[in-house]
Structure 1
Amino acid sequence: MRAFVAAGHRPSDVAAGTNRLHMDLDPVLLASCCYAQFHPRSGIVRIVRAGHLPPLLRLPDGHTKILDVPGGPLLGIDATARFPESELRLAPGSVLALYTDGLIERRDSDIGSDVERLRGSLARLGGGGLDDLADGLLRDACHASPDRADDIALLLTEYAPPR
């Protein structure tokens, strides 16, 4: 993936190229991916998903939403798969959250409820810095399901336009 990004490809092409390479190298393994290309001057984010959970957005006023970003299949399923690219413009002070299912999944609930719970935590914990927000989201996740076996990844970015 890094090579496709470094070559300057659009997110949809990064996902498609990574998918083809993944299938050539190890056709047995599958992977999910959410790749966001952020342009700090404009606040524009281009996002592509491959079998991955939807990103979340906290707006400057504290409201949060699950982004309706269409996605393609998991990487490694279909060498000819297409991965639709979505574009949005962030308002200054917005926080974009990307995460893995290991952060939110619980055995006693469905994935939609798990995403909604994370969205609620993102709204409730806003107001501090990103470090505090990340710590709070991880704390909430561990409290909701203390016996996690899956890996956890969380990426937060706040849009602050250049001066």
Structure 2
Amino acid sequence: MSAYANEVKAYLERYQKEVDGSGLLDPHAVAEWAYRKGLHKPSISTVIDAIAADISKVFREEYRTDPSGQRYRAKHAVRSKQGGKTASLWADIDDERAPREHFARSFSQRRQQIVGDCFQLKTDVDVYNDKNPAQPPIQIPLDFTLDVEELQLPYKRKKAA
């Protein structure tokens, strides 16, 4: 674990002792507390990273509607390593200048994120079930085919009409 992560863990423990012993943690409340106590002083790169994260959030949340009524995400990112850092480049799905390869990579990366999330969910459910053998096991189906088809039905009907 990095020195930075150890610092965060240390003031997090202090926060839990001094402010909130509920066991529930709001990262914004912890960050505000740490900043006000002088325990966390952001560097200029931290500030720039925070602004860039805000910009990325705006990009991620921009949706449009196609002529059949389907909402789609307008901007898509591709993550890649540049030097020792991971960078994201964004492109607008309606920008004809944006290369097809960008979107193919973006969609593939998003699919891998979903696979990773499903793997972690399955692991978490398995661990919970193993730790609670007296309870009926929680079942989480990971085949989303029918879920996706059901959500697409209204748009398929519009196209057929």
Q: TM-score, normalised by structure 2?
A: 0.23
The structure where helix makes up a greater share of residues is 2
- Bigger RCO of structures 1 and 2 (CA < 8 A, at least 6 apart): 1
Normalized per residue, the structure richer in strand is 1
| Structure 1 length-normalised TM | 0.22
- Structure number with larger C-alpha Rg: 2
